[in-house]
Homo-oligomer: A and B are copies of this chain.
């Protein structure tokens, strides 16, 4: 009887499966037992590959980053503006691909030096464009934390694109804010059309960089 033996696990396969599961159950439901079940294995088996759950989350964040890089086509001839647009749109898309993606990402650290290659490319492009290294770091990380903060807020309302978390009724909010007309009106502006608002916010940041560092 050819009882096929499952190929042994490895860190990548575990992280892959965990990311798939994340989209179904969310970060709260992402237990080691559930991940193990998906891999046809018992929970303690995961401790052979990861020293603890955080190490697995770190690998998941790293995998998210790898997919982001794979999906972002960078051109050495990009202008610095194009580069900032590409990388931050790519980052947002990568985070939005997974339920609680921003939380997982910002709560973890990369395993190894995966991010060095892109970072080096960005910094070279920015310094070539005339910035000092500290300025280049400031520009890229300011855009980075903007995007991370933006998606964190966004996923608080939309766990996945198209899904809406409960407790965000715009009409009810407007009624609660009746004594504050601008705030009431702002609700519609805050909780809709995240795509456009991301673009506008990112444009503000990029515009600020150009103005401050005398670029273009």
Contact = CB atoms under 8 A, between A and B. Distances in A.
Interface stretch (A38-46, A75-83, A138-146): A138-146
Contact of A204 (B142, B144, B185): B142
A35 interface: no
A9 interface: no
B205 A206 contact: no
A212 B205 contact: no
Contact of A120 (B182, B197, B200, B204): B182
A182 B133 contact: yes
Contact of A208 (B107, B119, B204): B204
24 contacts: A109-B167, A113-B176, A113-B177, A113-B180, A120-B182, A120-B183, A124-B182, A133-B189, A136-B186, A139-B204, A141-B190, A141-B201, A142-B201, A145-B146, A145-B149, A145-B201, A146-B146, A203-B208, A204-B212, A205-B208, A207-B211, A207-B212, A208-B208, A211-B211
Contacts of A162: none
A136 B134 CA distance: 30
A116 B177 contact: yes
Interface of A: 103, 106-107, 109, 112-113, 116-117, 119-120, 123-124, 127, 133-134, 136-139, 141-142, 144-150, 152-153, 156, 167, 176-177, 179-183, 185-186, 189-190, 197, 200-201, 203-209, 211-212
Contacts of A190: 137, 141
B142 A186 contact: no
A207 B201 CA distance: 13
Given A116-B183, A138-B197, A145-B146, 12 more contacts: A113-B180, A116-B179, A119-B180, A120-B183, A123-B182, A133-B182, A138-B201, A141-B197, A144-B149, A145-B149, A204-B208, A207-B212
